[in-house]
Amino acid sequence: MRIFLDTANLDEIRYGARLGVVSGITTNPSLVAKEGTSDYRTRVLEICRLIEGPISAEVVSTDVRAMLEEGRRIASWHPNVVVKIPSTEEGFEAISTLSKEGIRINQTLCFSVNQALLGAQAGSSYVSPFVGRLDDAGHDGMAVVADIVAVYQHYGITTQVLAASLRHPLHVVAAAKAGAHIATIPHKVLMAMVKHPLTDLGLAAFLKDWNAVAKAPLARVG
């Protein structure tokens, strides 16, 4: 399973890039707005310079004609840009037209296997089930991810399952066990994946033992 960062924050993306563990980025209008900019294109191009991989940018239009125009414009920003389109009636129509033009689509705001099936038929390259938001609504978000993976595998569907709205490190483990192709995570979840207190304690003990012997006088033979 590949790890993407779900952020439009450049420092967070630099951190993930430096570790070499992040192979793509997902953004949405809320994440870009959180950065205090409405210049989505400039921010996406800055991200493309930091990460060599799929960078998702979302349309904000809701009717088909406007989604098509916006989707084509977003796709023209950079070859690595993937256009995020919501799982609505208009969205499916836009996905089917844009995917036929060779534009890669990340079908977002997916909350059911049915929506994932429709998106795959329409030509989505990625489908993003929102695990945390399903959990928030009293559903089992990860079960939806597992069911989408199983159904896609059964029919040899090549749309990649991108587990989104992941809120904590156990979500990432569960997404991997469910067979998701990609987990997109916030920076704080990446940090929580990196850190383990036993690693820090173990390293401190190794270094203490090593420094004790390294500082001791050399034993002489004969």
Give the catalytic positions in this structure.
84
What residues between 19 and 48 interact with ligand G3P by CB under 6 A?
26, 28
Alpha-carbon gap, residue 78 to 44, rounded angstroms: 9
Q: Which is nearer to ligand G3P, 159 or 184 (CB)?
A: 184
Beta carbon of residue 171, minimum distance to ligand G3P (angstroms, whole number): 10
Binding region for ligand G3P (CB under 6 A) out of 138-146, 151-159, 163-171, 202-210: 163-171
Q: Which is nearer to ligand G3P, 115 or 165 (CB)?
A: 165
- Does 70 bind ligand G3P (CB under 6 A)? Our answer is no
CA R_g for the chain? 21
What residues between 1 and 20 interact with ligand G3P by CB under 6 A?
6
What residues between 179 and 208 interact with ligand G3P by CB under 6 A?
184
What residues between 83 and 142 interact with ligand G3P by CB under 6 A?
130, 132-133
Q: With contact defined as beta carbons under 8 Å apart, do 73 and 79 qualify?
A: no
Strand 105-110 and strand 24-26: the pairing is unpaired
**DSSP three-state, residue 139:** coil
Backbone angles phi, psi at 172, to 5 degrees: -70, -45
Q: With contact defined as beta carbons under 8 Å apart, do 18 and 24 qualify?
A: no
C-alpha atoms less than 13 angstroms from C-alpha of 37 in its C-beta half-sphere = 14
Residues that bind ligand G3P (CB under 6 A): 6, 26, 28, 130, 132-133, 164-165, 167, 184
